[in-house]
Amino acid sequence: MPLSDQKKNPPCKHLLIFILSQLVTAFCLFLYLRPSRDPGPEAWAGNPSSVIVQPGNNSTAPEAGSELTILLWTWPFGQRVALQKCSELFGIRDCHITANRSWYHKANAVIVHHRDVCFSPKKLPQAPRPPSQHWIWFNLESPSHSPNLNFMDNLFNLTMSYRRDSDIFTPYGWLEVLSQPQNFSIPAKSKLVAWAVSNWNPASHRVQYYEELKKYLHVDIYGSHHMSLPRDKHFSILSQYKFYLAFENSLHEDYITEKLWNNALGSGAVPVVCGPPRKNYERFLPSDAFIHIDDFPNAQGLAQYLQELDKDPARYQRYFQWRTWLKPSERSSWTVHFCKACRALQMTETYQTRPGLAKWFR
């Protein structure tokens, strides 16, 4: 039985102590890290005992000054998006964010999205770099899906990724602290387990685990070559399930993606995770907000536990106690990432070169 189901303290009291301890630790870390790192509240994960939380949009705007220009060398994956104002997202001074390359020689920083340039050095800016211009390496893919890192060495000044030790920390999601407790209503459940997967690789760890799991438990699978999951019905379909398999396509530190944040938590399902170790997840989530496959000796043990929870509403509802004071952020977009870069540039004067980016990221 997982550790999260063996707690003896009353759930509400335990949750309150958890939140208070995280806020105290977060505040201390914020004061310590602010001069040299991206100071966003969601970057308060420097201590393994801290969960990444955000107490609302109450950032203090920096002093007035000239507007910084950030050039998007490419739209990530070629996806053009409508840009929001950073002042509205984070309460900071706005930056001029543009994808027009004619601004290259005037830009204070250039964001280079790894997957759009990694197949040839010629896809990088070829003109001489203006003095003091920052190049920001931006990547949300795992090392397993980030080819050709070696020619990125000695080019970039700042890193921006889901890794907590990035210069600009841009996770796939985070939790926000509510100003007052809420009564979270668990969506009506009529089905047990769902999994949406687009890249079906029979040799992958997650598919091999599923092949064993299905011997003991039925799982509804959506995605390519499986049941259809229309974008406009995504959440309404997944919210019918008690559990969602948030199985990552590769196992790396801090690589916790939209599979957990959007598909599971966003639809009100309890995530069953396959990814980095439990302790890594607990830097992002309370320990009783998810179920880790490592909590069980094998897939049969997991299947038995999910079937037990299905028959015991009280035990199942414990996985939602944390939502009394916390909620997943709904501000996940490309603009959020760009505005975090804007905020970091306003808060730091550091200009450095990353000589071993490939070694660091791997």
Tell me the three state secondary structure of residue 239. coil
Selected catalytic residue, list 141, 176, 248, 282: 141
Half-sphere exposure of 357 (CA within 13 A, CB side): 27
Instruction: Specify whether the CB–CB gap between 362 and 143 falls below 8 A.
Output: yes
In the chain, which residue ranges form alpha helices assigned H by DSSP?
A: 11-33, 86-90, 114-117, 205-213, 234-238, 258, 278-281, 299-310, 313-317, 334-347, 357-361
Cα–Cα distance measured from residue 266 to residue 244, given in angstroms and rounded to the nearest whole number: 11
Three-state DSSP at 222 gives: strand
Give the Cα separation of 201 and 126 in Å (integer): 37
The answer to whether 212 touches 287, Cβ cutoff 8 Å, is no
Q: Measure Cα distances from 352 to 117, 152, 155 in Å.
A: 21, 14, 10
Based on the residue annotation, tell me whether 258 is a catalytic residue of this protein: no
What residues contact 278, with CB distance under 8 A and at least 6 apart?
A: 287, 292, 294, 295
Which residues are catalytic, by number? 141
